Copies of this chain bind each other. A is one copy, B any other.
């Protein structure tokens, strides 16, 4: 997961491994849309950019491809993933299936200390929101879900959900509605309330509602069947072979 703050320090002690560093950098670039969906990733160029050999770039590609963040085509190369609408819907559906269970488990194992931990995170979310730091808000929003996964105490779930959240971030970056209406942070408040209610069914229901809400805020219509509509992009009406 991309870090909300102090990006660049890894493992604390300054002993950073180049492998993970490159993965992180490319990850951040993809989620920031500095690398746009569909963009070709040339091995040699990246190798020179990062000052490493092509072999390492290749290994990094395998990792990113495994996380579905890039697309590896034999003999053609690597491309930043362009999740389709169907894929986007599937990711949200998968998250619902898993995070319903997470919510149930967290609700059942709730303690005062854990509630405070969640509350603390919510404060940071609100803070970022009031600062107007949109990017930090998105990242913290993802980390909220990751925190819940961690509270289940199940590393398997945590790791898988981390990947799904990354994919979600890419999907949001790609399909985000132009006028950002991320009222998401208030929904997290509701979620905390449901999680502390003690009723796992309520918690699961609230989680489902929240994930559906995120999905529904996206522009997951289908205005891209076939070829790009350049006419609307450039604000013109198509002319047939203008003189």
Name A's B-contacting residues (CB within 8 A): 55, 58-59, 62-63, 66, 90-91, 93-94, 96-98, 100-102, 105, 152, 154-157, 160, 164
Contacts and interface: CB of A to CB of B under 8 A. Distances in A.
Contacts of A101: 96-98, 100-101
Contact of A98 (B59, B63, B66, B98): B98
Contacts of A66: 63, 66
Q: How many copies, total?
A: 2
A80 to B, nearest CB: 19
A188 to B, nearest CB: 21
B55 A90 contact: no
A74 B154 CA distance: 26
Contacts of A164: 156
- Main secondary structure, interface of A, reads helix
A164 B159 CA distance: 12
B105 A156 contact: no
A59 B156 CA distance: 23
Contacts of A58: 59
Nearest to A92: B156
A157 B93 CA distance: 9
Given A90-B155, A97-B105, A97-B152, 18 more contacts: A62-B63, A63-B66, A66-B66, A90-B154, A90-B156, A91-B156, A93-B157, A94-B154, A94-B156, A94-B157, A96-B101, A97-B98, A97-B101, A97-B154, A98-B101, A100-B101, A101-B101, A160-B160
Among A59, A105, A154: residue with most chain B CB under 10 A: A154
A99 to B, nearest CB: 9
Nearest to A167: B156
A55 B160 CA distance: 27
A93 B154 contact: yes
- 7 closest Cβ contacts across the A-B interface? A97-B101, A94-B156, A94-B157, A62-B62, A90-B156, A66-B66, A90-B154
Nearest to A163: B160
Among A55, A91, A160: residue with most chain B CB under 10 A: A160
Contacts of A155: 90
Contacts of A105: 97
